[in-house]
């Protein structure tokens, strides 16, 4: 095991793609936002300061994915003490939220209508989360970290192909509200790659926050504008589609500082996000379900991309996502059975359901008795809906070794599509991450873990992760992608530990994803950097085992794009730092020397 660990660390840092340095490194999905973080590091700021600057810059240059109208989870690892914390700035439901608000007549609302109505808007947490992190662990004032974003919003930037594509293929979401259309479709013409985008209203808002702090957002004119904006609904829904947030909800929003959920896999330690995200818990369950299989052993028929490896990965995903659907929600609202789901005896019973020669029938959530929780019975349909593939993730390590791994979102691409008039930022549609139909059913043992409730945070899939060996941090990474986030982070983790890849190789490699118990499979291919590709032979073998979603036999069914992982790495022996970025977006690594 010691030899494997040393080889892994050597490989992790040896790729020529990595930006190796004892200094600061930022890995971000967008180059202008990466430059904002690098600028802060160059000015002497630490990783937390740089993370604040990146987040605010992303609000300007990736407005479709994240911003101050949304929320997220920031992992902070402190080099001096060895402690790891999570800043939970996930949106909350307003006080007047109710379990049946997305199904007032007993039938779930249409997602396109509900998600573009004020009813879907959760109380935003991003700004207060960033400010809280700065106060606790940063070295710079909030205003200093806002400066790069203000410049980008005020003077503008060139639209890249990812933003242009998201405007052109928006499912109408930038066209419903006039303020959103005026920004991204001026004169009715969608912005194209290379166009210059200036956002004066957003610049004004960021300057106001820089001058007056978070109170400028959570109280006063901006707060009143948020409340008024989220009262917009869709005519098809009538009053039922209007938001329920009040000024009191904004003023009472609180950030939570959480200790990490700790997992273990083949001698490695992982620090992940606990509930209300399902990211860490579901990831750790999948890893433990897979641990009995020699995924890296080619001699036993495994190895990267082999049918056996892909098959057991898919089956473990199905089992863990079945548990996720019933058991995981906001732990502050109702206790999540975290220890039971990771109980070794429970996991042994679950992994025994995985057979290497056939696909299992649709699994149910596990009965957690006798490990502390009543058994759940059958799942019910139409509880949740598809999560957006957008969101954004970035990772930073500073010259002192402090690390940040931060996943942040406004939920669906373009969030609710509602831009706050006069202030230039989009509001999230995060409340659609709750169950549309209430699932609580004492007779069936279903706790309704993700049912809507006042002040509750909706279940997330975000999974910022810290990987450690012998107590020392080795890598910090994460991904966007809705429910596929969990599987993107899983794929990279397996690539590193089981398949001996460098971080850049682990990120570039094609990914496999299954995000529900029924088990429709998605996999990547078609882009030259996705190597080694999943072969047609392997795909046909998966079809023969009973897996669905790959299309006809003999064809290439792996044509998806899944996630966008950004990572930083640290050599625990030498302190050398590196970074790796995902070419699925415009991933950028910048090294900062002093």
Note the pLDDT tens digit of each residue in 370-398: 777 666 555 554 345 555 567 899 999 99
pLDDT band at 221 (very low <50, low <70, confident <90, very high): very high
Strand runs labelled E in 355-505: 392-397, 403-409, 465-469, 472-478
Closest CA to 558 of 577, 528, 533, 584: 533
Domains parsed from the chain with CATH numbers: 31-62+93-253+388-444 (no CATH), 258-385+462-592 (3.60.20.40)
CA distances from 77 to 181, 274, 398, 498 (A): 40, 15, 11, 25
- Chain segment 289-325, per-residue pLDDT in tens: 999 999 999 999 999 999 999 999 999 999 999 999 9
- As a whole number, mean pLDDT of residues 121-131 equals 98
Q: Which of 351, 391, 392, 413 is catalytic?
A: 391
The tokens describing 543, both together, are 């079809």
Mean pLDDT of the chain: 93
**210: pLDDT strictly greater than 50:** yes
**How far apart are alpha carbons 135 and 123 in whole angstroms?**
21
Closest CA to 34 of 18, 7, 53: 53
**How far apart are alpha carbons 307 and 526 in whole angstroms?**
19
- As a whole number, mean pLDDT of residues 68-86 equals 98
The tokens describing 350, both together, are 């679950």
pLDDT score, position 375? 66
Count other Cβ atoms within 10 Å, centred on residue 464. Answer: 31
CA distances from 162 to 584, 585, 587 (A): 10, 7, 11
Element (H, E) at 204: helix 200-212
Contact between 23 and 593 (Cβ < 8 Å)? yes
Contact between 48 and 404 (Cβ < 8 Å)? yes
Task: Report the percent of the chain where pLDDT is more than 90.
Answer: 89
Query: Hunting for tokens 């570039």 — which residue is that?
Result: 508
Contact between 282 and 316 (Cβ < 8 Å)? no
432 is catalytic: no
- As a whole number, mean pLDDT of residues 473-484 equals 95
- Chain segment 545-585, per-residue pLDDT in tens: 999 999 999 999 999 999 999 999 998 888 899 999 999 99
């Amino acid at each position: 095991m010691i030899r494997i660990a040393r080889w892994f660390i050597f490989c992790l840092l040896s790729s020529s793609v990595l930006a190796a340095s004892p200094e600061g490194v930022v890995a971000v999905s967008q180059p202008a936002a990466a430059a904002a973080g690098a600028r802060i590091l160059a000015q002497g700021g630490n990783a937390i300061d740089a993370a604040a600057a990146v987040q605010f810059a992303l609000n300007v240059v990736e407005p479709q994915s994240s911003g101050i109208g949304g929320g997220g989870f920031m992992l902070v690892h402190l080099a001096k003490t060895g402690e790891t914390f999570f800043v939970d700035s996930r949106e909350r439901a307003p006080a007047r939220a109710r379990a049946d608000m997305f199904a007032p007549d007993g039938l779930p609302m249409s997602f396109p209508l509900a998600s573009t109505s004020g009813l879907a808007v959760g109380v935003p947490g991003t700004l207060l989360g960033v400010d809280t992190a700065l106060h606790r662990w940063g070295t710079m004032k909030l205003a200093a970290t806002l400066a790069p974003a203000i410049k980008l919003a005020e003077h503008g930037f060139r639209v890249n192909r990812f933003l242009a594509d998201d405007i052109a293929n928006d499912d109408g979401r930038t066209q419903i509200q006039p303020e959103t259309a005026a920004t991204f479709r001026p004169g009715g013409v969608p912005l194209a790659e290379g166009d210059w985008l200036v956002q004066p209203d957003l610049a004004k808002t960021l300057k106001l926050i820089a001058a007056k702090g978070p109170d400028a957002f959570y109280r006063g004119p901006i707060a009143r504008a948020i409340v008024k904006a989220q009262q917009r609904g869709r005519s098809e829904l009538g009053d039922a589609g209007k938001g329920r947030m009040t000024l009191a909800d904004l003023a009472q929003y609180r950030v939570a500082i959480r200790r990490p959920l700790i997992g273990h896999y083949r001698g490695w330690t992982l620090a992940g996000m606990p509930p209300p995200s399902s990211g860490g818990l579901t990831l750790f369950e999948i890893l433990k379900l897979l641990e009995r299989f020699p995924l890296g052993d080619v001699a036993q028929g495994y190895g990267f991309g082999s049918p056996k490896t892909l098959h057991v990965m898919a089956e473990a995903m199905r089992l863990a996502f079945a548990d996720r659907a019933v058991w995981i929600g906001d732990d502050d609202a109702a206790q999540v059975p975290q220890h039971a789901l990771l109980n070794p005896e429970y996991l042994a019973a679950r992994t025994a359901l995985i057979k290497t020669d056939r696909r299992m029938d649709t699994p149910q959530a596990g009965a957690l008795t006798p490990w502390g929780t009543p058994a759940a019975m059958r799942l019910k349909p139409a509880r949740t809906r598809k999560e957006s593939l957008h969101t954004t993730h970035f990772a930073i390590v500073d010259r002192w070794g402090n690390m940040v791994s931060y996943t942040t979102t406004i939920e669906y691409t373009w969030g609710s599509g509602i831009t706050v008039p006069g202030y230039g930022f989009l509001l999230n549609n995060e409340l659609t991450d709750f169950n549309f139909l209430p699932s609580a059913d004492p007779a069936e043992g279903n706790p309704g873990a993700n049912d809507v409730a006042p002040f509750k945070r909706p279940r997330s899939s975000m999974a910022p992760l810290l990987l450690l060996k012998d107590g020392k941090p080795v890598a910090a990474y994460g991904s966007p992608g809705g429910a596929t986030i969990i599987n993107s982070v899983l794929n990279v983790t397996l690539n590193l530990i089981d398949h001996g890849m460098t971080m850049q190789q682990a990120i570039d490699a094609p990914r496999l994803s299954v995000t529900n118990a029924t088990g429709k499979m998605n996999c990547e291919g078609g882009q030259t950097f996705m190597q080694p590709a999943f072969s047609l032979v392997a795909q046909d073998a998966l079809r023969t085992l009973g897996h669905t979603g790959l299309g006809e036999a003999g064809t290439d069914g792996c044509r998806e794009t899944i996630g966008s992982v950004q990572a930083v790495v640290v050599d625990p022996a030498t302190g050398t730092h590196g970074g790796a970025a995902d070419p699925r977006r415009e991933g950028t690594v910048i090294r900062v020397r002093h």
